Structure 1
């Protein structure tokens, strides 16, 4: 493949900046891509020709699904390009290509892509498949309502009508329009067609896309996900290809379940991560990876950037968990409530563009369902620490247990001095990046991306 002079120069300067940032600054997941795109806005068009591209997108679970899928595909492919830091906009994806070694023949790229960046990416790359996780209310100042968010994804899919869609069949929004693409649905099996349930009053996406009647459910996993049907017009969940057939055990640090009758164990907790594993399984199966290889790949206990990442702080076990919207937050609450041991709680809240400037989503989180009287200490911090402190106070957390600081260094010190062995640190995206950077500088973790 012959590159133009402009593309070659963009590649040279982009890779040079990547080398410098990772050698001397311990990271740089988007700046090299910005440089390359400044010199050649069509940079991906040349690079992408050597790759079969799988795009993973949706509101929650993109990073974990991408990580699990990449881990699985490493069992079969010599080289899988990916963007492990979660830098999922165009510049971050260009950086991932700059960081990769030159492929020997046809290679595979598994890319986590921000919902609003699917169409710009697909304007330059033609994906082999899309993996769609879910659509929930998230960063409304940037995305708008859930239907607006989904339309951004559909705009990209329409640029690749031959690509296979690997879709969460439990999300009714993914079944609301006809697309020419071949579709594979995954979801949670349900054998009880007589049950008639409603989603929580605070759930989005529960209107029938055909007649706008309220959807009913034969089963609900969480939020608006489940075996839905419309009692008015007959609209219902499509036939599933890949199914979670049993959930056997849920703990904060592992989950045991079955997919299509095969037992699996992953070293992260939460029902939402079973969905992520199922999405990865479905995509890997589409790419002809055998179930036994998938089981073997998912046995490995591997930390994922800011997603249930466990570190040691002065002998304490601190688990960092990214939160960014009400559904994800409530799922994290459900996760930590499965811990049989005493734990403290930390919460870092920022409101930068990458987090979403609107912090009202914390009021839709079910803080009142936490065992607040049993939690010995609650640390709150971040640029909007006053907001998150107030939310805990309204939930009737004992005021004497709440400690607040805007200093990230003080937050880390106090987290290492909690009166018990465990602390869960819930954090928005930019706060998580700042926290990891400072933890790396203090020697608690390796330098990040």
Structure 2
């Protein structure tokens, strides 16, 4: 533990970084170090395919309305070594504290072995990084292996995701979801290429009273009767959605976020549900949501020589399509770029880009300049050409050193730049070296 704390201090004092290395060093010296570090904490574990980082950030802001000292892992370093590092950075205080931890799906069980979770927050499960997780039912089993270790922990889950109510557990459950007036007295099915539309009980096609996106919504099975569980808390109205803001109601209380996308309303709803479990009032939650602070790589606004650049992490087809839908709400023209890597943290299989609806973006004519880059530049360049971007009009920058200059040369005032995880890290390092953002996270 001492070696881990020293390495954390050294890296952050002299190297401006170190989100996982101190934890790796500490775990190598003492494999059970997390148990000692976390023994004085009530822990909230946040996991799922999409939305973990922002949901964790929002939950932390909500809980700090009443509990000022909340430990978290804000860099998104969500595997064992990163979580150990978060505890090393926080120090020991000798009294009961709160920790809100983003945890990679495959690490829920190992982390749960050492900590005492008070609650698990489940955002969603979509097809993602097939090389690491396999199909999404396999991913859910990895998460359940952690939850089953703590049968008294409350599970706060997205009730609009059919998979989360498909297994019996002893834990107390709280479901959240969308309950809009438009989701009544209708009977529709999801598009045929949507993942997760088979009933997890009888494998017939699920029907919906309303779909928010992908397979999320007010589902029911006309064959066996499986249906969405009762919701503890719900989005009851959507007032306005833009690429940079959201106005909505939860339990008929009005809220706003300085970030766009229906998927981010779900993240806010998850944070609201956790807050209510901890006794935070809707008024306090509204104050927490009103704090405008962009999270690393999540609609992060960066000015590059006067050009507004919005950096957005993408990693799977569902998230990609929601981002593409969101930016099409932008008024006026914009430049569009996407950086594709295929390292272990990104997922080595890049076939998911073919499920992205780039055709719809190209067809709108809103994006008037297109750029691709990253280590798998050729893959994404071919995908954009199939979507309708002429090869002669497509800017190709495999070397990220050239991406910043290419953004500066775009004629549009606003550029949306999508990137996979390691590409975000690499680009932010270049932006830091150029003085466009601060070093670190």
**TM superposition score normalised by structure 2:** 0.98
Q: Does 1:33 align with 2:42?
A: no
Indicate if the aligned counterparts of 1:190 and 1:218 stay in contact, CA closer than 8 A.
no
- Distance in 2 between residues matched to 1:103 and 1:165, nearest whole Å: 27
CA distance in 1, matches of 2:10, 2:208: 54
In 2, Cα distance between equivalents of 1:103 and 1:217: 49
Shift of 1:103: 2.8
Q: Does 1:448 align with 2:431?
A: no
Counterpart-to-counterpart distance in 2, 1:12 and 1:152: 32
2:61 to 68, 71, 76: 71
1:143 to 108, 129, 133: 133
Q: Name the structure 1 match of 2:316.
A: 325
Residue 206 (structure 1) shift: 1.1
Indicate if the aligned counterparts of 1:79 and 1:103 stay in contact, CA closer than 8 A: no
How many residues are aligned here?
439
- 2:120 matched residue in structure 1: 130
Q: Describe the superposition over 1:228-273 as per-residue Cα deviations: whole angstroms up to 9, x where unpaired.
A: 0001011100010100000110001100000000000001000000
Q: Which residue of the partner structure matches residue 195 of structure 1?
A: 186
Q: Distance in 2 between matches of 1:113 and 1:43?
A: 17
1:24-62 Cα offsets, whole Å, 9 max, x none, are 222111111100000011111111111000000000000
**Shift, 1:23, TM fit:** 1.9
Deviations 1:138-167 (A, max 9, x none): 000100000000000000000011000000
Shift of 1:442: 1.0
Q: Is the alpha carbon distance of 1:294 and 1:374 closer, same or farther for their aligned partners in structure 2, counting shifts above 3 Å? A: closer
Q: Is the 8 A contact 1:376 1:401 kept in 2?
A: no
CA contact (8 A) 1:69 1:281 kept: yes
Query: Is 1:409 equivalent to 2:398 in the alignment?
Result: no
Q: How many Å apart are 1:87 and its aligned residue?
A: 0.4
TM-score calculated relative to the size of structure 1: 0.96
Taking the aligned partners of 1:38 and 1:366, their CA distance within structure 2 comes to 44
For the aligned residue pairs, the C-alpha RMSD in angstroms reads 1.0
1:19 to 9, 14, 27: 9
What stretches of structure 2 of length at least 5 have no aligned partner? none
- SS state of the match for residue 328, structure 1? helix
Find the aligned partners of 2:310 and 2:387 in 1 and give their Cα distance: 23
Aligned ranges 1:262-411 → 2 under 5 Å: 262-371=253-362, 373-411=365-403
Shift of 1:104: 5.4
Shift of 1:194: 2.1
Query: Structure 2: how far apart are the matches of 1:261 and 1:78?
Result: 27
Residues 370-403 of structure 1 show CA distances to partners (whole Å, capped at 9, x for unaligned) of: 0454422111110000000000000011333310
Deviations 1:36-91 (A, max 9, x none): 00001111111111100000000000000000111111111121000001000000
Inter-partner Cα distance in structure 1 for 2:162 and 2:305:
46
Gaps of 5+ in 1: 1-10
CA separation in 2, counterparts of 1:145 and 1:309?
Answer: 30
Runs of 4+ in 1 over 4 A off after TM superposition: none
